[in-house]
Amino acid sequence: MSVLVGKKAPSFNTSAVIKGNQIVEDFSLEQYLGEKYVLFYFYPADFTFVCPTEILAFQERLPEFEERNVAVVGCSVDSAFSHWKWLQTELKDGGIKGVKYPLVADLSKTISENYDVLAGSYDYSETGESIFNGTPMAYRGLFLIDKEGVVRHQVVNDMPLGRSTDEALRMIDALQYYEENGEVCPVNWKKGDKALKPTQEGIADYLSK
C-alpha cells in the first residue's frame, strides 16, 4: 500500500454527479487548488450496505466540513449513471437521495489504482487474456488534501469496516490548528485542547500538566 502523505494527490479528470442530480464530464480536484481543503474518500460500490451509512453520514455533517473550508468528494468504481440512479433513490428503498456533494465515477479503476486503494490488480492468464485478481472495487480509502494539493493524512479500511466522521473532522482541525499556530497536536488531541511547541521545552511543559 502506497503512502501518499507528503506527496501531491494524484490528479484525474472524469465524470461525476454534483449537487445530487447533475452529471458533469470533466470533474477534477484541481478546481479546489488554492481555495479549499479536500476530503477525498473511496467506497466499494453503489447499492451496497456499509457504503450508504458513510455517504449519508458525511452529508449529514457536511455543514461542519464546509465551515472548515473543506470540500467533501466521494468516489467508487461505478459509472456516473449508477451514481445518479442511486442519488435519485429514496432512503427507504436503499438509496442516498439528498446527498449533495460530488460522487466521482472511476469506471476504469485508474483513480483507485493511482491512490493505491484498488482491492486487486490486473494480470494475464496463461492464454494471454487480461484478468483481474482480487475484488474489482476500492477499499475504504480516505485522503485529506491541503489547499496546495498535498496529501496530509490518509487512512484505508477493509471493506467491512466503516470510517468515523468524528475522526475525519478531528484530523482537519489538527491540520488547520498546526497551520495557524505552528504547534503540533499530541495523542487524542481535539479542537480546544492544549497543543505543544515542537521543542524539548514544549514537550516537557505539555507532559508536566
Q: Which residues are catalytic?
A: 51
Query: Distance between CA 7 and CA 32 in Å, rounded?
Result: 17
Q: Name the residue among 103, 85, 105, 104 with its Cα closest to residue 95.
A: 85
Q: What is the DSSP letter of 144?
A: E
As a dihedral over the C-alpha atoms of residue 55, residue 112, residue 89, residue 23, rounded to 10 degrees, the angle is 110
The CA-atom distances, in angstroms, between 104 and each of 23, 37, 85, 115, 201 are 10, 17, 14, 14, 46
Partner residues linked to 141 by β-bridges:
156
Q: Is residue 196 a contact partner of residue 205, using CB atoms and an 8 Å limit?
A: yes
Query: Distance between CA 30 and CA 19 in Å, rounded?
Result: 18
Give me the count of residues in the chain.
209
Q: Is residue 73 a contact partner of residue 104, using CB atoms and an 8 Å limit?
A: yes
Q: Name the residue among 125, 131, 121, 144 with its Cα closest to residue 29.
A: 144
